[in-house]
């Protein structure tokens, strides 16, 4: 069979064999662009060459030489598609619920990185993508027997979604649209002769509430919604980008910082995947150094700090595994220190790293009633 070798009862694709990687029989061996080979492990066989290196790198200044994982235990890696991300998020959320958590955060990119960075990518496109992910997540909860309410920010978005998709387009009787505050649907003028439908955020039979598309100003309404619950509902914040919303707290026209200390700090990051890009300007060639990292967590596994390698077979290299969520400065330092560059460049980068400062919600631990969001 062209492109494949069979060695000692285990199958390896040609590229894996060339790099000295062996595939276990538990994984299907196939060749494709940008495919992550989670079953590949570095071996010490005689066929391995110390000079062999991955063929695809982002920049000549960054080495992506394969190294054994820093941890002896294998952890879940970031998914390759949105379907896998939603399913993994559901599994992590279910695990968190079994441990007694009812305030859960799920965060992953709503669209591809290329699309999100596009100039013509608007807020409605991101919102519609998150709404689609919310529906797929709701289906998984509904299949397990939960009664699910997908809460939208306001009645305007509620009517817009119904106009585009209908009331129950998925043939699931235990999934419904809702809003975070009690509202009346329909035109206020026609209410003179037509009774308007009142939309309640929660119903007594609801066991899961997925909240999507809320802004910083609407977080207080989310807090009031959760306070009215009798502790029987699981609340899931889906792709609301809490880190960005936290940065607005305390500004003029926004809720105070105490919202983080008394409320947001209680949310468990059951599934978290955030990519970050970095640029360093150097005084010597190549003058501009670009690299990317990712902070990833799938509960109950620890937080993973990952360096993007650009290799088609393995997009990320694990840098660190932490039980406690790293701060933004700690994350940047770990990713930067993992780069394999010349000593002079690394020394210059290290000096710049010492200038960073943690944001206020990462510093003020003593004011928070809970540290759940960090673990």
Q: pLDDT per residue over 92-143, tens digit each?
A: 999 999 999 999 999 999 998 888 888 888 888 999 999 999 999 999 999 9
> Does the pLDDT value for residue 307 go beyond 60?
yes
Last residue of some domain: 186, 221, 238?
A: 238
| Whether 241 contacts 109, CB under 8 Å | no
Query: Rounded to whole angstroms, what are the CA distances from 64 to 18, 339, 368?
Result: 16, 8, 40
84 occurs within a structural domain = no
CA 130/CA 107 separation, integer angstroms: 10
**pLDDT tens per residue across span 192-236:** 545 556 788 899 999 999 999 999 999 999 999 999 988 889 999
130 occurs within a structural domain = yes
pLDDT value for 188: 56
> Does the pLDDT value for residue 66 go beyond 50?
no
1 occurs within a structural domain = no
369 occurs within a structural domain = no
pLDDT value for 184: 67
Mark whether 220 and 340 lie in a shared domain.
no
pTM of the model: 0.76
Mark whether 130 and 198 lie in a shared domain.
yes
Query: Rounded to whole angstroms, what are the CA distances from 8 to 4, 24, 151?
Result: 13, 11, 54
pLDDT band for position 84 (cuts 50, 70, 90): very high
104 occurs within a structural domain = no
Mark whether 163 and 234 lie in a shared domain.
yes
User: What is the three-class DSSP state of 73?
Assistant: coil
Mark whether 123 and 234 lie in a shared domain.
yes
Please give the tally of structural domains in the chain.
3
pLDDT value for 73: 63
pLDDT value for 304: 96
252 occurs within a structural domain = no
> Does the pLDDT value for residue 161 go beyond 80?
yes
CA 341/CA 89 separation, integer angstroms: 35
Mark whether 280 and 224 lie in a shared domain.
no
Mean pLDDT throughout 1-25?
39
Length of the chain, in residues = 375
> Does the pLDDT value for residue 337 go beyond 60?
yes
Domain residue limits at 294:
274-361
Mark whether 296 and 211 lie in a shared domain.
no
User: What's CA 304's distance to the chain center, in Å?
Assistant: 12
Please, what is the Cα angle at 24 between 19 and 26, to 5 degrees? 140
Of 67-76, 81-90, 156-165, 256-265, minimum mean pLDDT range: 67-76
244 occurs within a structural domain = no
Mark whether 183 and 120 lie in a shared domain.
yes
Mark whether 116 and 215 lie in a shared domain.
yes
Mark whether 156 and 233 lie in a shared domain.
yes
| Whether 242 contacts 264, CB under 8 Å | yes
CA 240/CA 138 separation, integer angstroms: 16
Mark whether 229 and 329 lie in a shared domain.
no
Mark whether 280 and 209 lie in a shared domain.
no
Mark whether 322 and 230 lie in a shared domain.
no
66 occurs within a structural domain = no
pLDDT value for 14: 40
């Amino acid at each position: 069979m062209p492109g494949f070798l069979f060695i000692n009862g285990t199958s390896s694709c040609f590229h894996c064999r060339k790099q000295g990687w062996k595939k276990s029989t538990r994984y299907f061996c196939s060749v494709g662009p940008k495919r992550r080979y989670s079953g590949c492990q570095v071996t010490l066989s005689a066929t391995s060459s110390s000079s062999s290196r991955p063929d695809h790198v982002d920049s000549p200044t960054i080495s992506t030489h394969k190294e054994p994982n820093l941890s002896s235990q294998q952890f879940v890696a970031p998914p390759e598609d949105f379907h896998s991300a939603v399913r993994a998020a559901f599994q992590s959320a279910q695990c968190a619920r079994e441990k007694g958590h009812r305030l859960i955060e799920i965060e992953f990119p709503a669209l591809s990185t290329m699309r999100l960075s596009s100039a013509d990518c608007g807020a409605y496109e991101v919102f519609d993508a998150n709404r689609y992910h919310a529906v797929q997540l709701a289906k998984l909860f509904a299949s397990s027997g939960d009664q699910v309410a997908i809460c939208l920010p306001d009645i305007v978005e509620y009517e817009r979604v119904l106009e585009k998709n209908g009331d129950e387009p998925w043939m699931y009787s235990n999934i419904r649209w809702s809003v975070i505050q009690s509202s009346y649907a329909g035109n206020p003028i026609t209410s003179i002769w037509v009774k308007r439908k009142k939309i309640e955020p929660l119903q007594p039979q609801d066991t899961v509430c997925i909240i999507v598309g809320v802004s910083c100003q609407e977080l207080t309404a989310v807090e009031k919604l959760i306070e009215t619950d009798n502790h029987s509902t699981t609340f899931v914040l889906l792709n609301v980008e809490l880190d960005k919303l936290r940065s607005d707290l305390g500004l003029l026209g926004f809720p105070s910082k105490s919202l983080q200390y008394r409320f947001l700090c209680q949310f468990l990051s059951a599934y978290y995947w955030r990519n970050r890009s970095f640029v360093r300007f150097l005084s010597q060639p190549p003058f501009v150094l670009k690299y990317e990292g990712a902070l990833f967590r799938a509960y109950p596994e620890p937080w993973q700090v990952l360096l993007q390698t650009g290799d088609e077979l393995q997009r990320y290299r694990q840098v660190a595994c932490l039980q406690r969520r790293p701060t933004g400065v700690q994350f940047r330092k770990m990713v930067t220190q993992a780069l394999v560059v010349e000593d002079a460049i690394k020394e210059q980068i290290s000096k710049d790293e010492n200038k960073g400062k943690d944001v206020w919600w990462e510093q003020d631990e003593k004011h928070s009633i809970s540290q759940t969001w960090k673990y």
